[in-house]
Every structure is written in structure tokens, then in C-alpha cells.
Chains A and B, each alone.
Chain A
Amino acid sequence: MTLALAPTDRPYLPRGVRLVADRVRGGLVLLAPEKAVALDPVGEAILSRMDGQTSLAALVDQLAAAYDAPRAEIEKDVQAFLQGLRARMFLMVSP
């Protein structure tokens, strides 16, 4: 299966994966089975807007507006980040 998300796909964090504040090191960290992934500002911006209801297209719109950046560029970054999580089974999508 392809890991690429369709514009209408709604990404979500499955059970066992959650976003928490790292009290000791600061920042947000994604906790997943036997893994902890420290997020960079790009990852934080994407995951903190993801609620399981928002589609990929809407996420990209929101980020393009918030960062005043070309939509195509934002979409490329979001796809790359989310596909990386999906390959590790840290992210799932509803159609």
C-alpha cells in the first residue's frame, strides 16, 4: 500500500500513540510503542493541528495561512512528515 495521504484523508494518532509535553527537556514529544520522538517545530505545527476530523487538505490550508507559505511547499513537508509516521504505524487515516 502507498503511504501517501489523499487530500480527503483524515489523519489521526491511533491508540497507544500520544503527544505530550516533555516536562524535563521542554517541547512536545510523540510517545509511541517503545519509542519517543522529540518533535521539531514543523512536527509540532502539524500534530498540534491534527484532531482526527481535519482532512489533509484542510491541514495544509491552515498551515499555509499560519506560516504565509506556498501551499505546494507546505503540502510536501506535511506529506513527508506524516508518511514517515505512517511507515512506523504511529499514524493512521480515516477516509
Chain B
Amino acid sequence: MSVPAPIAMLAELTHRCPLACPYCSNPLALHGKENELNTETWARAFGEAAELGVLQLHLSGGEPASRPDLVDLTRAAHEAGLYTNLITSGIGLTPARLDALEAVGLDHIQLSLQGTTPELADRIGGYKGGFARKMAVAAEIKARGIPLTLNAVMHRHNLDDLERTIDLAIELGARRLEVACVQFHGWATRNRAALLPSRAQTEAAKRIVAEAEARLRGTLAFDFVPPDYYADYPKACMGGWGSAGLNIAPDGTVLPCHAAETIPHLDFDRFPDKTLREIWYDGAAFNAYRGTDHLPETCRSCERVGIDFGGCRCQALALAGDAAATDPVCSRSPDHHKVTALLETALAEGDAAEFTYRRMPRKG
């Protein structure tokens, strides 16, 4: 099988974050500041990524603005020829820092949204005053004309505010709104019952997005990620394992996706111990689930195998106990009843469930 060059890279610059969202996609075992790659090493990674064929760089975290060298990192990425996208909560982006980021060539900002009111947003983010600060940053972004996507992570506590979320995206001058229903990886697996929306909420969200998409054509573009537990077919995670993108964790571990470390038998290489080229083409973890040969007959004989590649490997391991299995979200999976059972349990517990917030481990 010939391996295509990667198009996108997610650089998790840090796991530090002032927010504590209970659905954070970071792993449960978070890296402290002492494990983070330094400025020069990240800059070298950006250069290698561009040489390898990466076009889009997502500067993420944690909260990337927690890195004091964010402006230098953005400059390095821009100079390497990458399209630079900052994925942020907004906390830590002062007007002066936004000016500096613009000056070094930042292309786009993806601003997260936890809720449409201070009460709701601050409760979900676990950070008092966060919503007010985010709105102030959003106004500064709009005043500068920096292209903005609003990323609204949706779940049972805020899906009913979807219409207000769409209005807010327009008020903030966003060109694009991601209505991203929580996917159950990372910290969200600890909060399934507290986060899982009802089927009625999910159906309403689909109707609202379809209506708004038609009404706002040419004003606001939508990306809608429905909750996959209610879907008939799985999502094509990462556009296929090791085929479109790679992630670098704060300590330099290079991953096929942000949840890949949950597959315990995989061996991950670290940058800069090896070059990104060696890791992408020859790394054991990247080659483990490339293509579709590892998939069971259910997938290999399925007409959708070229569309969703059997779904998410991490979810197959988490729910079916085998990372090479059909993603149990798929209605054709022999393990699909496990998803149905999870749904029932989560919905029964939902009202009483409390958030387990994302926290760094206490230093010993």
C-alpha cells in the first residue's frame, strides 16, 4: 500500500489550561510543563512537517496561550510555510498578544465555546469569569478581522441553546460554526452520563442545523458533528488511520490521533528522537492500522469500508475490547448492543450525574 503524505498536523503545545472542561480530548494522564518540548524543537518539527507535505498546522493544547513562546512558535510555523490555526479558549490572549500573532502571520483562530451564558459556560469550563473574558477576546478578534471559527462543543447541558449559539456566532463575526457534539474519548469517557444528549435533543439539533444552514448561506458555514452513539455508521476517524494527519503531544510523542495512547499495545515514537518522516512512514504505531487489512470480514466486505474505514480504532478498543474490530457504533457491528447498553445506562443516570473535571495531577 502506498502511504500518502500527511496534510494536517495537530501540535499539542501544552496540556496546561485554565479551563477544566469535562469533555477535554486530552488524555487522562496529562503532561506537566517540565515535559514540554522547547521552542526550538517545536520549530524544527514545523519545518519537518512542511517538508513532509503538511499544509495545515493546528496550534492547540491544553491552552496554547499558556505557552509564553506562542508568538515565536506561530512565527516559526508561518515561516515554514504552514497555514496556522490557533485552537484556543481565548484565555491568555491579550490585545497586545493578538497584535503580535497577527504580525507574525497567524491565519485563523478557532475559539471554543462552552455555553451561551456566563452561568452555564463557567460551570462547564470549571472557570469562573471565563465566559466574560472569552467574549472580550472575541470582540478583539472581530475588531482585527482575524478569520474566526466558533467551536461549540455540545452535549445534554447546552444542546437546547443551539439556536442562541448560532446567533452568537453571527454576533461575534465568525465565518464558520462547528457544532461539535461531544465524542467519547479522553475526559469525556469519565463523563458519559453527564454529557450524553437525549435522542430527542440530537434529532432537534439536526433539524436546527439544517434550517440554519439554508437560512445563513453565504453568511455562516457549518460543520456539524452529531453524537456518534446515535449514528447508524461510524465516523471516518482522522480520515483513515495514518493517512491524512498526525498529532504531536506536548512531550514530543507522535500520535496517529489524539486518543491513540489509549491503545496500550502500540509503540509510539518521540520527536526529535526520530524525524517526522521516519515516524510517519515507518513508525510501528502509524503502520498498525493503516489501510483496511486488519479489519474483520464485516468491514472488508462492506460497501462503506472506503468511506469510514471501519470507524475509530480507539473506540473499537474501548467498547469492543479489540482495536482491530469494527467500531461498535456501527449498526452492523456484532458489538453494537454494547453501545445500546451504554446509551441506556447513561440516559438513566444522566440527571443525577456530576462532572468529573479535567485536572492536572497534583505534584507529589
Task: Show the binding face of A for B, using Cβ within 8 Å.
Answer: 1-3, 14-17, 20, 22-25, 29, 31, 33-36, 86-89
Q: Is the CB of B218 within 8 A of A33?
A: no
Q: A15-B147, A16-B107 are in contact. Are A88 and B56 (CB under 8 A)?
A: no
In the bound assembly, the distance between CA atoms of A34 and B58 in angstroms comes to 8
A-B contact count (CB 8 A): 65
In the bound assembly, the distance between CA atoms of A1 and B218 in angstroms comes to 7
Q: A16-B147, A24-B5, A87-B217 are in contact. Are A36 and B52 (CB under 8 A)?
A: no
- Size band of the B side of the interface? 20 to 34
B149 at the A interface (CB under 8 A): yes
B223 shortest CB reach to chain A, Å: 8
Q: For B149, what are the chain A residues with a Cβ–Cβ distance below 8 Å? A: 33-34
A25 shortest CB reach to chain B, Å: 6
B346 shortest CB reach to chain A, Å: 30
B298 at the A interface (CB under 8 A): no
Q: Is the CB of B175 within 8 A of A89?
A: yes
B89 at the A interface (CB under 8 A): no
Q: A33-B176, A34-B56, A34-B58 are in contact. Are A86 and B147 (CB under 8 A)?
A: no
Q: Is the CB of A24 within 8 A of B221?
A: no
B336 at the A interface (CB under 8 A): no
Task: Show the binding face of B for A, using Cβ within 8 Å.
Answer: 5, 7-8, 50-53, 55-56, 58, 81, 83, 85, 107-108, 110, 145-147, 149, 175-176, 217-221
Q: For A35, what are the chain B residues with a Cβ–Cβ distance below 8 Å? A: 56
- Other CB < 8 Å A-B pairs besides A2-B218, A24-B51, 11 of them? A2-B217, A3-B217, A3-B218, A20-B55, A22-B53, A25-B5, A25-B53, A33-B147, A34-B110, A36-B7, A36-B55
In the bound assembly, the distance between CA atoms of A14 and B53 in angstroms comes to 24
Q: Is the CB of A34 within 8 A of B7?
A: no
Q: Is the CB of A1 within 8 A of B219?
A: yes
In the bound assembly, the distance between CA atoms of A31 and B51 in angstroms comes to 17
Q: For A25, what are the chain B residues with a Cβ–Cβ distance below 8 Å? A: 5, 53
B174 shortest CB reach to chain A, Å: 10
User: Could you show 17 A-B contacts with beta carbons less than 8 Å apart?
Assistant: A1-B219, A2-B218, A15-B145, A16-B175, A17-B147, A20-B81, A25-B53, A31-B55, A31-B56, A33-B85, A34-B56, A35-B56, A36-B8, A36-B56, A89-B175, A89-B176, A89-B221
Q: Identify B53's interface contact among A15, A24, A31, CB under 8 A.
A: A24
Q: For B53, what are the chain A residues with a Cβ–Cβ distance below 8 Å? A: 22, 24-25
Q: For B176, what are the chain A residues with a Cβ–Cβ distance below 8 Å? A: 33, 89
Q: Is the CB of A36 within 8 A of B83?
A: yes
Q: For B108, what are the chain A residues with a Cβ–Cβ distance below 8 Å? A: 16, 33-34
Q: Is the CB of A22 within 8 A of B55?
A: yes
In the bound assembly, the distance between CA atoms of A35 and B83 in angstroms comes to 9
Q: For B55, what are the chain A residues with a Cβ–Cβ distance below 8 Å? A: 20, 22, 29, 31, 36
Q: For B146, what are the chain A residues with a Cβ–Cβ distance below 8 Å? A: 15-16
In the bound assembly, the distance between CA atoms of A24 and B5 in angstroms comes to 8
Q: Is the CB of B218 within 8 A of A87?
A: yes
Q: Is the CB of A89 within 8 A of B220?
A: yes
Q: Is the CB of A88 within 8 A of B221?
A: yes
Q: Is the CB of A34 within 8 A of B145?
A: no
In the bound assembly, the distance between CA atoms of A35 and B8 in angstroms comes to 9
In the bound assembly, the distance between CA atoms of A24 and B277 in angstroms comes to 13
Q: Is the CB of B217 within 8 A of A1?
A: yes
Residue of B nearest to A1 (CB): B218
B18 shortest CB reach to chain A, Å: 24
Residue of A nearest to B213 (CB): A87
Q: For A31, what are the chain B residues with a Cβ–Cβ distance below 8 Å? A: 55-56, 83, 107
Residue of B nearest to A34 (CB): B85
Q: A25-B53, A33-B149 are in contact. Are A87 and B58 (CB under 8 A)?
A: no
A33 shortest CB reach to chain B, Å: 4
Residue of A nearest to B178 (CB): A34
Residue of A nearest to B175 (CB): A89
Q: For A24, what are the chain B residues with a Cβ–Cβ distance below 8 Å? A: 5, 51-53
Q: For A16, what are the chain B residues with a Cβ–Cβ distance below 8 Å? A: 107-108, 146-147, 175
Q: For A86, what are the chain B residues with a Cβ–Cβ distance below 8 Å? A: 218
